[in-house]
Structure 1
Amino acid sequence: MPIDSHPRTAPSPIADEAIPDISVVIPVYHERENLHDLVARVGEALEATRWSFELICVDDGSRDGSQQILAELAADRPWLRPVALARNYGQSTALQAGFERARGRYIVTLDGDLQNDPLDIPAMIERLETDPSVDMISGWRHQRQDKALSRRLPSVLANRLISWATDVRLHDYGCALKAYRREIIERIHLYGELHRFIPSLAREVGARIEEMPVRHHARTRGQSKYGIDRTFRVILDLVLIVFFLRYRQRPLHAFGGLGLWLLTPGLLILLYLFAVKLSGEDIGARPLLMVGVMAVLMGAQLIVAGLTGELLIRVYHEGSGRPQYHTRDLPEPAASGRHA
């Protein structure tokens, strides 16, 4: 089976294959030592269930032979669909490539380092199947096996910071094991490093999220790609996601609000200095004059930036045809409320 290496915006229909119930999407980067066990464990976990499935392993430009191993494993596993990216784009892009090819009613993500346990997948899917009020299940590694402080400390800091800033309260944002209804994934688009904020993005498009404790295993092969520097990148990405969630539809409120906070005191300072000048005093050498001028200029620039953002948002929605809102099906009426 050839590895899919051609980008496309949607999966091509396959007439002779039934649409699976579950699509498992796993980004892979330099995990050749884990691939055999990874594929085997996913197969063992899902072949014993009543659901049909596919496994989409997205190789994110590995140079350790992972692509060759995936091609060999797919040769006798029709449910394994490898994807090879042309270079290393990052985890968000790899996930998006998998999402665009996923065909299942439910979509599951997990890491390729064998620290997530595929045996937890059936319980997640069962929860989605039996409770229509839940759209996404987020894994919670309540008994983490990571001993290194360089992994545990950034995770704790990031979880608290993201929960506070986005108001989506989760114990474990960093757990890659998550399950979604397909319609939720179709509403979001990942780029940069937004994979860390998928629960926040899902909530923004209307998903109802539930957390589920899952198993966690220590890494036994390969090397971790995370470190303490990830905390600083999370902070920068958090600025973007907070702006996206709160002000995407109204950028003037963000830029214009800050602009007014600068413009108003700047104008008051200049009015005060103007009155001082009228009284005959020299104001040319006063530092306060520079403060007032800079505050007015910066405030005016921010307000103009907000107006420009409003125009861009209008062009974005009207030009692309993207909806400003999403709807959901109404619940079935109670039996007692139906008319005979």
Structure 2
Amino acid sequence: MYQSPTVVTADDAARSYAVDISVVIPVFNEAENLPDLVRRVDEALTPTGRSFELILVDDGSRDGSGRLLLKLAKDRPWLQPVRLVRNYGQSSALQAGFDRVRGRYVVTLDGDLQNDPLDIPALIDRLDTDPDVDMISGWRKQRQDKALSRRLPSVIANKLISSSTGVHLHDYGCALKAYRRDIIDRIRLYGELHRFIPSLARDAGARIDEVPVRHHARTRGVSKYGIDRTFRVILDLVLIIFFMRYRQRPLHAFGALGLWLATPGLGILGWLGLVKLAGEDIGGRPLLMAGVMLLLMGLQLIVAGLVGELLIRIYHEGRGRPQYHVKDDHAR
């Protein structure tokens, strides 16, 4: 039975924000950087007078980062450590933080101190004063990474993702981003989708802007990125394009491809049928096998699209999930 979605009023939304800013940072083997990271976030946000929380998600570190987080949190009530039982990857670590945010605005950055927490107040002020922006993505205009293994994959990925998704940013890889809370509530991360948060946010209705931010060279710890990341980005890009274009209508994706295969298959079999009627033997022709295979593959893809449509209906109607998001300007 379909249940209409719960309507959240502006007053309800305002009461749900326990703090002004939630900062979410996934960390993996960053014990050397954690004390400075916590101190710099404190120094950046305390002078603003805004209430804030710092959610540090330890993604299964093996260097004692988890124990250090618990120690740092003892005399800092605004620090919330989250320790995952094993290394799940950056997307899952970010989602673990997003599931626990209580702030009106959500900020993300990396734990390696290459992003500067001092940039956070300016991003929040922009969201506070500009109702036409829902997400601000940082742009490391003057990157301090010298290694080609980090810069080259980033350049390739930025151009590839921008051209494929239509969300044009200079720097998809910059972890320093600020969001309105309702945008975070609409997206879910898994696999390696953290690279495509701007695309997911745009799909959720976010209006995105990009601003230059500071970037520092890594001085401690080891980078977790390399040239192999480019190939993973290409595979994930196929998934994100499908999500953005065909998530609500899988039959259009699978069905269209199925028709492209089935149509020439039918044409081939029709022509061979005429040849057969003319008295020629077609049993040994490779073209017969090609026509049958094209037709069968096309039909299978069309059926897959129909099954996808049924699953979409079950997901939205059976669980009462709306297929849209309503803009609540009064909550801002």
Deviations 1:8-30 (A, max 9, x none): xxxxxxxxxx9211000000100
SS at the partner of 2:26? Answer: strand
Change (3 A) 1:152 1:43: same
Q: What's 1:12 paired with?
A: none
SS at the partner of 2:295? Answer: helix
Change (3 A) 1:233 1:310: same
Q: What's 1:42 paired with?
A: 41
Which residue identity lines up with residue 306 of structure 1 in the other structure?
Answer: G
Unaligned ranges ≥5, structure 1: 1-17, 333-340
Q: What's 2:31 paired with?
A: 32
Which residue identity lines up with residue 189 of structure 1 in the other structure?
Answer: R
* Superposed counterparts of 1:213-252, under 5 Å: 213-252=212-251
Q: What's 1:63 paired with?
A: 62
SS at the partner of 2:179? Answer: strand
Deviation at 1:231, TM superposition (A): 0.6
Identify the structure with bigger relative contact order (alpha carbons < 8 Å, sequence gap 6+).
Answer: 2
What is the root-mean-square deviation in Å for CA atoms of aligned residues?
1.2
Deviations 1:40-92 (A, max 9, x none): 11111111112111100000011110011111111111111111011111111
Structure 1 range deviating more: 252-261 or 320-329: 320-329
Identity in percent: 78
Cα distance in 2, alignment partners of residues 32 and 238 from structure 1: 32
Deviation at 1:285, TM superposition (A): 1.9
Change (3 A) 1:108 1:330: closer
Q: What's 1:287 paired with?
A: 286
Deviations 1:149-172 (A, max 9, x none): 111111011111111111001111
Cα distance in 2, alignment partners of residues 285 and 218 from structure 1: 67
Q: What's 1:94 paired with?
A: 93
Which residue identity lines up with residue 152 of structure 2 in the other structure?
Answer: L
Runs of 4+ in structure 1 over 4 Å off: none
Which residue identity lines up with residue 312 of structure 1 in the other structure?
Answer: L
Deviation at 1:329, TM superposition (A): 2.8
Deviation at 1:330, TM superposition (A): 5.0
Deviation at 1:320, TM superposition (A): 2.1
* Superposed counterparts of 1:168-207, under 5 Å: 168-207=167-206
- Name the count of aligned residue pairs: 315
SS at the partner of 1:81? Answer: strand
Give TM-score scaled by structure 1 length: 0.91
Cα distance in 2, alignment partners of residues 327 and 140 from structure 1: 29
SS at the partner of 2:153? Answer: helix
Cα distance in 1, alignment partners of residues 317 and 46 from structure 2: 46
Cα distance in 2, alignment partners of residues 213 and 291 from structure 1: 55
Cα distance in 2, alignment partners of residues 178 and 53 from structure 1: 16
Cα distance in 1, alignment partners of residues 319 and 157 from structure 2: 34
> Is residue 278 of structure 1 aligned with residue 277 of structure 2?
yes
* Superposed counterparts of 1:117-136, under 5 Å: 117-136=116-135
